[in-house]
Amino acid sequence: MADTTASSEMEKSGKIFVAGHRGLVGSAIVRKLQDHGFKNLVLRTHSELDLTSQSDVESFFATEKPVYVILAAAKVGGIHANNTYPADFIGVNLQIQTNVIHSAYTHGVKKLLFLGSSCIYPKFAPQPIPESALLTGPLEPTNEWYAIAKIAGIKMCQAYRIQHQWDAISGMPTNLYGPNDNFHPENSHVLPALMRRFHEAKANNADEVVVWGSGSPLREFLHVDDLADACVFLMDRYSGFEHVNVGSGVEVTIKELAELVKEVVGFKGKLVWDCTKPDGTPRKLMDNSKLASLGWTPKI
């Protein structure tokens, strides 16, 4: 199983562990699996099972013996959180993914999907970014700690495939949005941050809303229900060595995004740019042709 093996659809009765099932991505995956008729889901909240604890993860897998694992639990946040808590972003993510991947292998899991992010690619990668751009240049400094952890996750899946012939695959989602997003005023991603800020400004009759950076960076957004659909598709149809990009192919500038949210919310005041805040990567449009060639495209 050094490169790609024939994949078989998940058995409807097989027990599936969705790690991080209350988050943006995990909750969408649970909804999608239920829509597809998967009923045997095993779910644990953070307080029921701390995935950074190696011994707790080991006993969970020994007891529950899931057949499939979708790893959507991680320390996640926007540009400010990534830049402010680098130790958490590298440390917690390395612990969670190492514990889950190793215990899943040890306890006979048939297939595992690891989720990374488009921030794994070099800051100045060719656009649209093909999967082959991984490890070809320096990373964006605001999220390099998180990116290094995610790259380690991809490599761990590949290493277990080579050495143990184990079916571990990786998907790399672009920037996501949807129900159960994180609306923290500083630590969230841009879209929920702007929805909250414009809503509060309108409710409080404020004169202006401050948006971070220059407004010039481009971002590609995908609805989380599309991502969840792609995750089920990959579990059913893909058993390859290389990670797979999951994006929409559509990008907007942060300025366009802010103006759109302003209009939708109906805020009539001024928009002010805080250029002391980082822009991050100038552009990170992913090349989604690999997933398209496998037969999946977004619907929303």
Ligand X SMILES: NC(=O)C1=CN([C@@H]2O[C@H](COP(=O)(O)OP(=O)(O)OC[C@H]3O[C@@H](n4cnc5c(N)ncnc54)[C@H](OP(=O)(O)O)[C@@H]3O)[C@@H](O)[C@H]2O)C=CC1
Ligand Y SMILES: C[C@H]1O[C@H](OP(=O)(O)OP(=O)(O)OC[C@H]2O[C@@H](n3cnc4c(=O)[nH]c(N)nc43)[C@H](O)[C@@H]2O)[C@@H](O)[C@@H](O)C1=O
Contact range with ligand Y by CB under 6 A, out of 5-13, 107-115, 182-190, 241-249: 182-190
- Candidate ranges 24-32, 132-140, 260-268, 283-291; the one touching ligand X (CB under 6 A): 24-32
Q: What is the dihedral of CA 123, 279, 150, 82, to 10 degrees?
A: 150
State the nearest-atom distance from the C-beta of 117 to ligand X, in Å. Answer: 4
Helices (H) and strands (E) in the chain, counts: 9, 11
Identity at 5, one-letter amino acid code = T
Note whether 117 binds ligand X by CB under 6 A. yes
3-state secondary structure of 241: coil
Q: Where are the alpha helices (DSSP H) in 141-189?
A: 144-164
CA distance 245 to 286: 7
Please identify, among the stretches 37-45, 75-83, 152-160, 260-268, the one whose residues bind ligand Y according to the rule CB under 6 A.
75-83
Confirm if 13 and 40 have CB atoms less than 8 A apart.
Answer: yes
Q: List all residues 6 or more positions away from 190 whose beta carbon is below 8 Å from its beta carbon.
A: 78, 79, 175, 212, 219, 254, 257
Binding pattern for the stretch 120-159 against ligand Y, x by CB under 6 A and - elsewhere: -----------------------x--x-------------
Radius of gyration of the chain (CA): 19
When binding is defined by CB under 6 A, the residue of 22, 110, 223, 237 that contacts ligand X is: 22
Of 32 and 189, CB closest to ligand X: 189
Catalytic annotation, pick one of 68, 105, 121, 146: 146
Please tell me the count of residues contacting ligand Y according to CB under 6 A: 25
The one segment of 7-15, 34-42, 61-69, 207-215 that binds ligand Y by CB under 6 A: 207-215
Q: ∠180-111-107 over CA atoms, to 5°?
A: 105
By the 8 A CB rule, do 218 and 285 touch? yes
Cβ closest to ligand Y, residue 103 vs residue 174: 174
The CA-based dihedral angle spanning residues 242, 99, 93, 69, taken in that order and rounded to the nearest 10 degrees: 50
- What's the angle, vertex CA 260, arms to CA 254 and CA 265, rounded to 5? 125
- Would you state the torsion angle of the CA atoms of residues 200, 79, 247, 182, taken in this order, to the nearest 10 degrees? -40
Query: Is 30 one of the binding residues for ligand Y (CB under 6 A)?
Result: no
With CB atoms as reference, the residue minimizing the distance to ligand X is: 23
Rounded distance between C-alpha atoms, residue 50 and residue 61, angstroms: 13
Q: Which is nearer to ligand X, 72 or 112 (CB)?
A: 72
Query: Contact letters (x/-) for ligand X, 212-251, by CB under 6 A?
Result: ----------------------------------------
- Residue 146 annotated to the active site: yes
Provide, rounded to whole angstroms, the least separation between the CB of residue 228 and ligand Y.
Answer: 16
The contact set with ligand Y (CB under 6 A) reads 77-80, 82, 117, 119, 143, 146, 175, 188-190, 193-194, 211-213, 217, 219, 254, 277-280
Query: Contact residues for ligand X (CB under 6 A)?
Result: 20, 22-26, 45-46, 50-52, 72-76, 96, 115, 117, 173, 175-176, 182, 189
